[in-house]
């Protein structure tokens, strides 16, 4: 089977010839530089999803772009998950031992990874201190995907000296801006790749095959939430909202999630949810992107009832398939859903249930919102927009660093 790399030209039907030419012109100034991204997992969650597509598209533009993943013990990932939660506002007991384990594991990864790249982009708190262990030959960028609207101040104070060693910080939203970071802060909303198995067009037969494979019934409308098993995604709230809604409407709820290698809480949350399983409440933990596509296409409604959310890539994925989304009124979800236009924003289980009932009772409303949702993604949330923002950022360093051509 012949392999094909998706290029910017493939996006032309969506973004137009002028945008394609503009992106190539910006990329031409960065030919031959070597960029690498560093995060903590190859799969599970939006960061890995973004990096998988973005690094390939950057390479298609002639910019050598790599992707490294740090390794760590269960202790390390347990600590970094607590850090992640604290950055989103949770409490943390930041002991000396926790800090020692965190910094020691990052130091060991720095020894193993020989980073002689022109530009290094480090994602989220797990590999953050790596910058301290290298003599920089070019700019280092910290990309934080987390909702920093109400961070735990003790956690932020501890991490800030590491952050200040970077040349730029990329956050998803302006409301996540923080004082004291030192480096310039820029704001890039994430984006989707419409050509992946998760997002490409599926035939009705392909959709039906995936659903049948997992014994998901289609005799009633499907209500779906697809997320990592994470308390910030509020899976228990989704179940409660569904149970309220089904007093008035008949439907099947599917909660589909996965457990990322850097998230030790995920399996615990999945196990805790299993007590809610019944004939019309299906809870699955599988790695199957074709199933995600099939569910988002067949669903009458997709939920993303998060209580904290840096962006919420699954919202854009569902909207791309023309499916109305009911999302938590938080973080990046608010920048995707225009309440009452291309979906609904909710603040409680009761509000979510009321919107489920409203949409299930009104197929024309679902269709109208779904069309608006797809238009929103086409205009604002395709991968070419995100890549172009990175090209602008990398080109902006020319006055501060003389990037070595290799």
Please report the pLDDT score of residue 398 as a whole number.
67
Are residues 89 and 129 both part of a single domain?
yes
Are residues 32 and 169 both part of a single domain?
yes
- The strands making up 185-187's β-sheet, listed across from edge to edge, are 64-69, 34-39, 119-123, 140-143, 168-171, 185-187
Are residues 362 and 392 both part of a single domain?
no
| 2 occurs within a structural domain | no
Are residues 387 and 335 both part of a single domain?
no
| 1 occurs within a structural domain | no
Average pLDDT over the chain, rounded to an integer: 94
**Tokens standing for residue 369:** 């919102």
| 199 occurs within a structural domain | no
Q: 339: which strand partners? A: 343
Please state the domain count of the chain. Answer: 2
| CATH number of the structural domain spanning residue 364 | 3.40.50.2000
402 has pLDDT over 70: no
Each residue's pLDDT tens digit, 213-267: 999 999 999 999 999 898 999 999 999 999 999 999 999 999 999 766 667 777 8
339 has pLDDT over 60: yes
| 104 occurs within a structural domain | yes
Choice between 404 and 2, residue whose per-residue pLDDT is larger: 2
Query: What does the pLDDT average to over 73-100?
Result: 95
Vertex 157 angle, CA 152 and 161, to 5° = 140
Are residues 35 and 107 both part of a single domain?
yes
Each residue's pLDDT tens digit, 28-47: 999 989 999 999 998 877 89
**Tokens standing for residue 404:** 């070595």
Are residues 284 and 343 both part of a single domain?
yes
**Cα separation, 370 vs 320, whole angstroms:** 8
Query: What does the pLDDT average to over 352-356?
Result: 98
| 274 occurs within a structural domain | yes
State which residues form the domain around 82. 8-191+382-399
**Tokens 């019309």, residue located:** 280
Whether the CA torsion 382, 385, 40, 102 is positive or negative: it is negative
**Cα separation, 51 vs 311, whole angstroms:** 15
Q: Terminal CA-to-CA distance of the chain, rounded, Å?
A: 33
Are residues 208 and 292 both part of a single domain?
yes
pTM, whole model, 2 decimals?
A: 0.92
Please report the pLDDT score of residue 261 as a whole number.
63
| 222 occurs within a structural domain | yes
**Cα separation, 249 vs 357, whole angstroms:** 6
**Cα separation, 376 vs 370, whole angstroms:** 10
| 196 occurs within a structural domain | no
- pLDDT band at residue 321, thresholds of 50, 70 and 90? very high
26 has pLDDT over 50: yes
Are residues 110 and 254 both part of a single domain?
no
| 404 occurs within a structural domain | no
Are residues 243 and 354 both part of a single domain?
yes
From start to end of 340-396, where are the E strands?
Answer: 343-346
Are residues 349 and 335 both part of a single domain?
yes
Are residues 117 and 230 both part of a single domain?
no
Are residues 222 and 133 both part of a single domain?
no
């Amino acid at each position: 089977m012949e392999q094909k790399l998706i290029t910017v030209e493939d996006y032309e039907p969506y973004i137009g010839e002028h945008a394609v030419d503009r992106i190539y012109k910006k990329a031409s100034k960065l030919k031959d530089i070597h960029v690498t991204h560093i995060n903590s997992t190859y799969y599970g969650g939006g960061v890995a999803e973004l990096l998988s597509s973005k690094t390939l598209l950057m390479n298609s533009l002639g910019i050598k772009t790599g992707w490294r993943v740090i390794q760590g013990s269960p202790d390390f990932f347990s600590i970094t998950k607590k850090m992640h939660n604290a950055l989103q506002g949770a409490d943390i007991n930041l002991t000396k031992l926790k800090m020692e384990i965190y910094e020691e594991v990052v130091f060991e990864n720095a020894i193993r990874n020989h980073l002689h790249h022109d530009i290094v982009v480090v994602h989220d708190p797990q590999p953050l201190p790596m910058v301290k262990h290298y003599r920089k030959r070019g700019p280092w960028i910290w990309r934080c995907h987390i909702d920093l609207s109400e961070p735990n101040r003790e956690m932020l104070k501890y991490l800030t000296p590491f952050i200040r060693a970077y040349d730029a910080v990329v956050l998803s939203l302006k409301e996540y801006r923080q004082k004291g970071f030192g480096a310039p802060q820029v704001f890039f909303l994430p984006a989707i790749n419409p050509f992946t198995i998760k997002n490409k067009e599926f035939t009705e037969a392909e959709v039906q095959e995936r659903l049948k494979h997992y014994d998901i019934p289609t005799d009633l409308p499907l209500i779906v939430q697809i997320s990592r098993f994470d308390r910030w995604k509020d899976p228990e709230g989704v179940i409660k909202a569904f149970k309220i809604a089904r007093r008035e409407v008949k439907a099947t709820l599917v909660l589909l999630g996965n457990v990322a290698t850097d998230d030790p809480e995920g399996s615990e949350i999945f196990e805790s949810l299993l007590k809610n399983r019944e004939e019309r409440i299906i809870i699955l933990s599988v790695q199957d992107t074709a199933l995600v596509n099939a569910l988002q296409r067949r669903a009458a409604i997709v939920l993303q009832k998060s209580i904290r959310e840096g962006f919420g890539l699954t919202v854009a994925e569902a909207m791309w398939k023309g499916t109305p989304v009911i999302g938590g009124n938080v973080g990046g979800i608010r920048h995707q859903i225009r309440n009452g236009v291309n979906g609904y924003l909710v603040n409680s289980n009761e509000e979510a249930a009321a919107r489920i009932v409203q949409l299930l009772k009104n197929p024309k409303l679902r269709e109208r919102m779904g069309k608006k949702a797809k238009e929103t993604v086409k205009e604002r949330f395709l991968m070419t927009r995100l890549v172009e923002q990175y090209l602008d950022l990398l080109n902006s360093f020319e006055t501060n660093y003389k990037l070595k051509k290799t």
